[in-house]
Amino acid sequence: MKRLAALAMALILISCAHDQETIREGMLTLNLRQSAFLDEWGKPDRTYVTSGQEIMQAGWNQQGGGFFKGRETFEVWVYTARKTELLFNRKKRLAGWKTDATVQELSSPKRN
């Protein structure tokens, strides 16, 4: 059991490091972790919540099936200096973005 927990922790750390490296390079891709943006870009200048279009979805989990109909909510983070708005889903993963910045403008300075 300890080995499994150690392996899971290692995979999480590798995933987080990958997300941070992607952000550091200025590349925005879906499903990046919200925490990786905090680690790489710091706290946003402004946040707010918005809702998306009406959706219907069904799914299964360990407790059984489920059905959702309504509007999904998203958390929006605004980084003024980077000219970027990030949209996160309820799983705290990047679901979309709006920016006028180039990849070079979004990239972070190289660390020593």
> What's the pLDDT score for residue 63?
72
> What's the pLDDT score for residue 67?
64
> What's the pLDDT score for residue 78?
97
Which stretches of the chain score pLDDT less than 70? Answer: 1-16, 53-57, 67-68, 109-112
pTM, two decimals, is 0.72
Tell me the pLDDT of the chain averaged across its residues: 82
> What's the pLDDT score for residue 35?
95
> What's the pLDDT score for residue 110?
55
Buried b (16+ CB within 10 A) or exposed e, 15-36: eeeebbeebbeeebeeebbbeb
